[in-house]
Amino acid sequence: MKYKALYGTHDLLPEDSFKWQNLEEKVRKTISLYNYKEIRTPIFEETDLFARSIGQDTDIVQKEMYTFLDQGKRSLTLRPEGTAGVVRAYLEHSLGEKSPLVKLFYFGPMFRQERPQKGRLRQFHQFGVEAIGSLEPSLDAEVIDLSVKICYALGITDFKLHLNSIGCPVCRPIHRDKFLNFMKDKVGELCEDCKTRFLRNPLRMFDCKKEGCIEQLKDAPVMIDFLCEECKNHYILVKQYLDALKIDYFEDKTLVRGLDYYTKTAFELKSKLLGTQDTLCGGGRYDLLVEELGGKNTPAIGFAAGIERFVLVLKMEEKLDLEEKNLDLFIATLGDEARTLAMKLIKDLREKNIICETDYLNRSLKAQMKEANRQKAKKVLIIGEDEIKKGKAILKDMDSGEQKEIELEKIRGAF
RNA sequence: GUGGAUGUAGCUCAGUUGGAUAGAGCACCAGGUUGUGGCCCUGGUGGUCGGGGGUUCGAGUCCCCUCAUCCACCCCA
């Protein structure tokens, strides 16, 4: 075979596409309950937008973006995540001038050039929400509540909410100094990866699974103990709201975010069923991003969720909707006259929203019946020469096997 | 970018210490029913054994290279 889907990309075939549709429908419905409105932004943007918002030093910008030059020699990039484009659109259309709090959601493909593995693809799909314009902890609670609610709406039960606060530009440097100071004598004991992390992204050391590193990090200062008054109070209030909403959470002092724009509240929904790429949904505050992209100082919070990962978990929990819309009627024909009649009937019935199908391969009646069965048609209408003469046709119920003659003009009434 | 594993029919997989026209189940097509599906029976279509090179009288099987996929590292949805 000459052409194949690129490494890390997948075709969504008919046998699965309806499952995605069902999933999307439920997600949309739930998000709408929380009064978020859909926004659709382009899947490519100026490269600089992503570099600016995600952060020059992140892995995404450093090595994972699909970047190309267009005919005009401008550097463009397939979006690696959704927030940057949404905030760009928010600013471009002055949505903040029309309403102080803007609640948006999106669905769509994202692109990152990573090595694929379970739960990780190069073109993958996310949905996410962004609430832009408020610093209220109650808004954090709403966003978190929504993410949890979506899981329940889909029937997912095996997941855990991890919660943390990663501070702000006031308190983060203080912790960073303390942390580096604490670790600097221990660097020699760390694994090679952690030595690199120490220089590039020290907090990532908390993710290390090696026992030696975990031991060294045991008493390391964590961000949560260094929060400034504002961040500390914010975090306390978020927890109070979550308690009030009876949402269980696990305070994960080591939870870090990969994108530079995050501040204060950070959360993830994780599922053990996923293997090592266990994050279903990740989010948090990004109070600095809007200003960073040229807007006014505007606090915001959001999350993004991986649709493929949801599908994986749903498959494992066997909660995927298997209901396919199947055929209401298959019309089997014998002869040219019958086929013409069938064509007219079908056009008519489709007008009435009846899903119907007929044979386009000149097959035997037996083969047509097999086809009807394969497509799970509820009923089959058989039109042959005898039936045309009599002005009647045979209507067969495929479940019971019963069949009866029916006048051609009365067929519409049978549904 | 690094490591490990796996590539045989549309799908899931057998294939012995290297041995003759490469198999099974499912799916597909046809017949058993001159105009009736599912179950059953019979038959059929379908494979450059991922690709290339090598060893050998002989390679799906052994060796080398390459490509692809999966899993893991890194990192993230």
A123-156 confidence digits (pLDDT tens): 999 999 999 999 999 999 999 999 999 999 999 9
Q: What is the pLDDT of residue A61?
A: 87
Helix/strand number for chain A, H first, E second: 15, 16
Determine, yes or no, domain membership for A210: no
Q: Which residue has the tokens 């954090």?
A: A140
> Is any atom of nucleic acid chain B found less than 7 Å from the CB of residue A252?
no
Protein-nucleic contacts, chain A 150-179 to strand B, CB < 7 Å: none
> Which residue, chain included where needed, has tokens 């397939």?
A78
pLDDT at A14: 86
In this prediction, residues A243-258 reach a mean pLDDT of 91
Residue A238: which pLDDT band, with cuts at 50, 70 and 90? very high
Residue A1, pLDDT score:
61
A85 CB-contact burial (10 Å; exposed 0-12 / middle 13-18 / buried 19+): buried
pLDDT of residue A210: 73
Q: Is residue A396 part of a domain?
A: yes
Six token digits for residue A360: 């386009």
| A255 plus A360 within the same structural domain | no
Same structural domain, A299 and A406: no
What average pLDDT does range A206-221 have in this prediction? 78
pLDDT at A304: 96
Confidence band for A391, pLDDT divided at 50, 70 and 90:
confident
Assigned token pair, A237: 């209030």
One domain, residues A402 and A255: no
Note whether A313 and A158 are within 8 A (CB): yes
A112 and A231 assigned to the same domain: yes
| Interatomic CA distance for residues A320 and A325, integer angstroms | 15
Q: Which helix (H) or strand (E) holds A126?
A: strand A123-132
Greater confidence, A329 or A16? A329
Contact A104, A290 (CB under 8 A): no
Better-scored residue on pLDDT, A216 or A337: A337
Name the residues in A62-121 having a C-beta closer than 7 Å to nucleic acid strand B. Answer: 81, 112, 114-121
> Are A158 and A301 members of one domain?
yes
Do A123 and A152 lie in one domain? The reply is: yes
**What single-letter amino acid sits at A398?**
M
Region A51-77: mean pLDDT is 90
A67 and A167 both lie in a single domain:
yes
Q: Is the CB of A337 under 7 A from strand B?
A: no
**Is A391 among the domain residues?**
yes
Nearest protein residue to B31's C1' (by CA)?
Answer: A366
pLDDT of A319: 77
Same domain membership, residue A18 and residue A67: yes
- Per-residue pLDDT of A260-289, as tens digits, reads 788 999 999 999 888 888 999 999 999 999
Q: Which nucleotide has its C1' atom closest to residue A303's CA? A: B77
A337: domain CATH number is: 3.40.50.800
Do A306 and A335 sit in the same domain of this protein? Answer: no
- How high is the pLDDT of residue A342? 93
Whether residue A334 sits in one domain with residue A300: no
B36 nearest neighbour residue (CA to C1'): A366
Question: Which CATH number does the domain housing residue A28 bear?
Answer: 3.30.930.10
Query: Band of the pLDDT at A408, cuts 50, 70, 90?
Result: confident
- Strand B nucleotides in reach of protein CB atoms, 7 A cut-off: 1-3, 28-31, 33, 35-38, 68-77
Co-location of A380 and A272 in the same domain? no
Residue A395 near residue A408 (C-beta atoms within 8 A): no
Distance between CA atoms of A132 and A48, rounded to whole angstroms? 21
In Å, how far are A247, A266, A303 from A238, measured between CA atoms?
Answer: 11, 11, 16
Query: In this predicted model, which residue has the larger pLDDT, A191 or A143?
Result: A143
CB of A272 within 7 Å of some strand B atom: no
Does residue A190 lie within 7 Å of nucleic acid chain B, judged by its CB? no
Highest mean pLDDT among A108-112, A187-191, A389-393, A403-407: A108-112
Q: Is the CB of A357 under 7 A from strand B?
A: no
The reply to whether the CB atom of residue A403 sits less than 7 A from any atom in nucleic acid chain B is yes
A282 touches strand B (CB under 7 A): yes
Identity of the amino acid at A292: E
Please state whether strand B lies within 7 Å of residue A386 at its CB atom: yes
Q: Which residue reads 């008919």 in tokens? A: A14
**Higher pLDDT among residues A254 and A320, named by residue:** A254
In this complex, the nucleotide whose C1' atom is nearest to the CA atom of residue A387 is B35
For residue A175, what are the CA distances in angstroms to A50, A225, A285, A392? 27, 8, 19, 84
**Nucleotide with C1' nearest the A371 CA:** B37
Question: Can you give the residue range of the structural domain that contains A110?
Answer: 14-171+227-316
Order of all β-strands in the sheet with A356-358: A356-358, A329-333, A379-383, A392-397, A403-407
Q: Is residue A322 included in any domain, yes or no? A: no
A285 touches strand B (CB under 7 A): no
Q: pLDDT: is A237 or A258 the higher one?
A: A237
Decide if A401 contacts A369 (C-beta within 8 A): no
Q: What percent of chain A clears pLDDT 90, i.e. is strictly above it?
A: 66
Q: Give SS3 for A134.
A: coil
Residue A2 has pLDDT above 80, yes or no: no
| Residue A91 within any structural domain of the chain | yes
For residue A253, pLDDT beyond 80:
yes
Q: How far is the CA of A372 from the C1' of B3 (A)?
A: 51
Q: Encode burial over A185-200: b for 16+ CB neighbours within 10 A, e otherwise.
A: ebeeebbeebeebbee
Distance, CA of A117 to C1' of B8, in Å: 25
Q: How many Å is the Cα radius of gyration of chain A?
A: 28
User: In Å, what is the separation between the CA of A405 and the C1' of B62?
Assistant: 69
A181 in the Ramachandran plot: left (φ > 0), alpha (ψ -120 to 50) or beta?
alpha
**Domain end point (choices A286, A316, A346):** A316
| Strand B atom within 7 Å of A335 CB | no
First-to-final CA distance of chain A = 45
Last residue of a domain, one of A256, A284, A316: A316
Residue A263: inside a domain: yes
As a whole number, mean pLDDT of residues A12-24 equals 89
Three-state DSSP class for residue A381:
strand
Whether A102 is covered by a domain: the verdict is: yes
* Residue A329, both tokens: 């009627």
A207 touches strand B (CB under 7 A): yes
Report yes or no on A218 lying in a domain. Answer: no
Choose from A1-5, A125-129, A262-266, A309-313 the range with maximum mean pLDDT. Answer: A125-129
Q: Residues 3-42 of chain A: which lie with beta carbon within 7 Å of strand B? A: 4, 6-8
pLDDT mean across residues, chain A: 91
Place A192 in a pLDDT band, splitting at 50, 70 and 90: confident
Same domain, A27 and A110: yes
Q: Is the CB of A280 under 7 A from strand B?
A: yes
Where does a domain end: A287, A316, A345? Answer: A316
The count of domains in chain A is 2
Q: Burial, A153: exposed, middle or buried (Cβ in 10 Å; 0-12, 13-18, 19+)? A: middle
Distance in Å from B11's C1' to A95's CA comes to 51
Cβ contact A122:A3 at 8 Å: no
User: From residue A283, how far is each of A54, A256, A304 by CA, in Å?
Assistant: 13, 11, 6
Q: Between the CA of A332 and the C1' of B38, what is the distance in angstroms?
A: 17
Residue A82 in contact with residue A129, Cβ under 8 Å?
Answer: no
